[in-house]
Structures are given as C-alpha cells and as structure tokens.
C-alpha cells in the first residue's frame, strides 16, 4: 500500500514536471515575450494546480467507485469529470496568474470568461491524457486481479471437488470391505481375523494416499492386491486373478484408489453375480503416449451404466479435474462374457 502511494506521488511530480518543461521549451522555441521570472512563476502555478486538481479528480473517482463499474457506464461520467476538472484547473491557473501578476499583456485584453473558455479547452489536453492513463492503468490492474482471483477460485474449487470425491470413494470402499468381512465372521472366524489384517493394510495405504493427488502406480497396485486378497477370502475358488504389468509403468503417477475402484466394481457387478465366479484381469501398459489401466472381469454389461453408481462416475470426474480432456475412461463389453474398463492417462515425462 505504501509503495503504491509513493509511486503515485512520484508519477504525479514527474508528469506535471514534464508539463512544466514543455512549457519552458515552447516559450523559448517560439520566443514568447515574457521574462524568465514570470515564466517560472507560471510553470510553478500550472505544476501546483495540476497536482491539486488531478488529485481531487482521483479522489472523486475512488469515492464514486467508478473503477468498479463497466467502461460503458463509466465513460459518460469520465467525460463530465474531464470538462469540470479542466474548468477548475483553468480557474486555479488564471486566478493564480492574475493574483501574482503573471498574465501576459495580450491575455489581459480579453475578458475573464473568454480567457476561461480558451484555457479550459487547452488545459483539457492535459487533464484528458492524465485521466486516460490513470483510469485504464487501474482498470487493467483490476482486470488482472480478477483473473488471478478467478484462477485461484477455480483451483480451490478443483481441490475441493477432488477432496469431496475422495471422501466419497473411501467410505464406499470401506463399507464394501466390511460387508465382505461380515460374511466371514460366522462362517470362518479365523479367516475373518485374517481379513481384518488385510483390511488394516489397505486402510493404512489409503490414508497415506489421501495426502496426494497422485501416487506411483506400484503403490496403487499394492492396494489392489491387498483388496483382492481380502475378497478371495470370501469367494475362494470362484475368484481367479491375473496380472499383466509392464515394469516401465510401475512408477508412473496415477490417481489414488482409482484402480481399486474399477476392481471393486468388477467384483461387485461381475464376479459376485456369476454362479461359478470368474476372472479378474489387471493390465498396466504404456501405449501411444498413454498409460493404459485395464480391468477385465467375467460378466455382462447392462445398458444401464448408471447402476454402477458413484464409483465409476467419480472416475470420470477425477480424470477430468486432474487431466482435462487428455485422459479418458471407457467401459464396454468386449465379447459375450468379458467386461472391460479402461482408463487412459497421459504419460508425464
């Protein structure tokens, strides 16, 4: 704030000082018949009057809030302000000239109002540039601040959306895992205890992942393996798991819990609905500039994709928030018995 005020006054003195030097230059260039003492007195009055009147104009602009209005609304007011300021500037200058006996002999032959009219027009050529520079400088500064505020707001919104999505995903995952454990409690207490251990490992990894927008794929894959080990307690021989992992892809960043969501969906809507169970196949590979994550499961894809609920819709939302249009997600039936969910994430080098 102090720096801005200091800069304003420095520019005021430099600007009106330049006007004074121009007056001196033209007086000597055109050999105006006045003494140097009178010339310097006139320059001093113009200098003081310019600073006084433009500072008052600045105060009016800020007091009336014209900077907050659109240009269309502000222009008529600024035109009136230029006219009034030019007239006031002329009154101060002419009054000063007369008071200190600095008026030229030719100007004394004219009436005061004639001198005022001519001087108002001439001085408007000083006031108008000052106003344009001041107004549009602050107008563009305001626009820039608004753009920065907009960008910060958009970033905040994206951050909140990502956190909200994560907050939905983790309870979604936890409740499904607890249901799996509940199914084992009466049937096989020993396996239930082992399942609790598996779940604690998954939750520990999940809580650590919450602090980051992306994690190395290796860490995400570890969560998936723990999750499938937990589900294997419930499905036993009905669940078969296969992995095809490109070693180059294990360190590539991916959204945390995204692959787990796809695998969970494959279990819930695929394997659990098959009498004889089925296969879960997880594929990770680099292809055509993308990191492709594929989850295939035994089952049939119904037309109502909406039935898969929040998990899959959040996948689309997260990809859009993190990568824009560069990433994609698709789920489809690739043959009569296999459903494939595929995420394509741009490779970052």
Walk me through the domains of the chain, giving residue ranges and CATH numbers. 2-152 (no CATH), 186-346 (3.30.565.10)
Strand partners, 216: 253
Residue 304's pLDDT band (boundaries 50, 70, 90)? Answer: very low
Evaluate if residue 33 carries a pLDDT over 80.
no
Buried b (16+ CB within 10 A) or exposed e, 206-232: beebeeebbbbbebbbebbbbbbbbbb
What does the pLDDT average to over 45-57? 93
Question: What does the buried/exposed string (b/e) look like for 75-89 if buried means 16 or more CB atoms within 10 Å of the residue's CB?
Answer: eeebeebbeebbbbb
Q: Return the number of other C-beta atoms located less than 10 Å from residue 244's C-beta.
A: 11
- pLDDT surpasses 90 at 52: yes
Structure tokens at 180: 């799996």
HSE value, Cβ hemisphere, 13 Å, CA-based, for 345 = 26
Q: Which residues are bridge partners to 293 per DSSP?
A: 284, 343
DSSP state for residue 237 in the 8-state scheme: G
pLDDT above 70: residue 194: yes
Measured CA to CA in angstroms, residue 331 lies from 205, 236, 345 at distances of 27, 26, 15
């Amino acid at each position: 704030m102090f720096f801005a005020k200091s800069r304003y006054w420095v520019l005021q003195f430099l600007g009106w000082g330049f006007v004074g030097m121009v007056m001196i230059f033209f007086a000597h260039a055109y050999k105006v018949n006045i003494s140097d003492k009178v010339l310097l007195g006139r320059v001093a009055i113009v200098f003081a009057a310019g600073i006084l009147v433009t500072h008052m104009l600045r105060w009016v602009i800020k007091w009336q809030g014209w900077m907050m209005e659109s240009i269309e609304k502000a222009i008529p007011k600024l035109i009136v302000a230029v006219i009034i300021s030019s007239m006031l500037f002329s009154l101060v200058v002419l009054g000063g000239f007369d008071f200190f006996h600095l008026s030229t002999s030719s100007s004394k032959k004219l009436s005061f109002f004639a001198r005022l009219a001519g001087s108002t027009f001439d001085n408007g050529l000083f006031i108008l540039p000052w106003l344009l520079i001041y107004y549009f400088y602050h107008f563009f500064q305001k626009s820039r601040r608004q753009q920065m505020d907009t960008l910060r707001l958009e970033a905040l919104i994206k951050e909140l959306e990502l956190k909200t999505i994560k907050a939905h995903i983790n309870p979604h995952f936890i409740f499904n895992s607890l249901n799996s454990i509940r199914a084992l409690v009466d049937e096989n207490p020993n396996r239930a205890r082992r399942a609790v251990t598996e779940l604690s490992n998954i939750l520990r990894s999940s809580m650590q992942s919450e602090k980051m927008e992306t994690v190395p794929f290796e860490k995400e894959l570890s969560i998936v393996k723990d999750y499938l080990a937990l589900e294997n307690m419930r499905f036993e021989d009905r669940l078969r798991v296969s992995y095809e992992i490109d070693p180059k892809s294990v360190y590539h960043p991916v959204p945390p819990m995204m692959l787990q969501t796809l695998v969970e969906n494959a279990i819930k809507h695929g394997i659990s609905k098959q009498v004889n169970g089925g296969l879960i196949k997880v594929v990770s590979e680099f292809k055509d500039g993308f990191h492709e994550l594929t989850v295939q499961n035994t089952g049939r894809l119904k037309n109502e994709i909406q039935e898969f609920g929040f998990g899959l819709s959040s996948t689309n939302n997260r990809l859009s928030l993190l990568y824009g249009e560069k990433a994609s997600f698709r789920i489809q039936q690739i043959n009569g018995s296999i459903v494939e969910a595929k995420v394509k994430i741009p490779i970052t080098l």
